[in-house]
């Protein structure tokens, strides 16, 4: 009789992926106001197989992630509209820390490099750097 190796379900995988955007699992749990402080470990070790709706709701509310993405895996992790784009970008920096933002940016750039550079990538990167430095200057004044 063969034993089927149980895998982490897809929703749990997305929760773990989302928590990876935070400096630590502890900061993710705190941001989502979840009382189970070992949630991420429990998901990874398959002690929790199907997180309940209350947990999922707290994750969507706490992180601002796309609820449809969390449940189905379809669409973008975060949906941005014109009104919330600036606030969500600032929130991302506050909650996830600049190191994680840089790491994600580096991963994206590495993907672009592997697939071939677009002609104006250097210009876009320069504009982005100028924008970051201008924002820093405003906050220092």
Domains and CATH numbers, the chain: 10-72 (1.10.260), 85-140 (no CATH)
Provide the mean pLDDT of the chain.
77
| Confidence at residue 82, expressed as pLDDT on a 0 to 100 scale | 43
| Cβ-Cβ contacts under 8 Å for 95 (sequence gap 6 or more) | 22, 27, 31, 63
CA distance 57 to 37: 16
Which of 8, 62, 64 has the alpha carbon at shortest distance from 34? 62
In the chain, which residues have pLDDT < 50?
1-3, 82-95
Q: Tell me: the pLDDT tens digits for 89-109?
A: 444 444 455 556 666 667 666
3-state secondary structure of 119: coil
| Confidence at residue 58, expressed as pLDDT on a 0 to 100 scale | 92
| Confidence at residue 7, expressed as pLDDT on a 0 to 100 scale | 80
Do 56 and 11 form a contact (C-beta atoms < 8 A)?
yes
| Confidence at residue 122, expressed as pLDDT on a 0 to 100 scale | 66
| Confidence at residue 95, expressed as pLDDT on a 0 to 100 scale | 46
| Confidence at residue 29, expressed as pLDDT on a 0 to 100 scale | 94
pTM above 0.75, yes or no: no
């Amino acid at each position: 009789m063969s034993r089927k190796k149980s895998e982490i379900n897809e929703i749990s995988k997305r929760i773990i992926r989302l928590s990876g955007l935070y400096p630590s699992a502890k900061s993710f749990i705190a941001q989502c106001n979840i009382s189970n402080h070992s949630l991420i470990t429990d998901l990874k070790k398959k002690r929790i197989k199907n997180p309940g709706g209350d947990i999922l709701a707290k994750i969507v509310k706490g992180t601002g992630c796309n609820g449809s993405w969390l449940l189905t895996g379809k669409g973008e992790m975060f949906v941005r509209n014109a009104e919330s784009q600036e606030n969500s970008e600032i929130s991302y920096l506050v909650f996830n820390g600049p190191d994680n933002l840089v790491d994600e940016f580096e991963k994206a750039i590495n993907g672009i490099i592997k697939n071939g550079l677009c002609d104006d990538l250097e210009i876009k990167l320069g504009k982005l750097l100028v924008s970051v430095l201008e924002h820093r200057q405003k906050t220092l004044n």
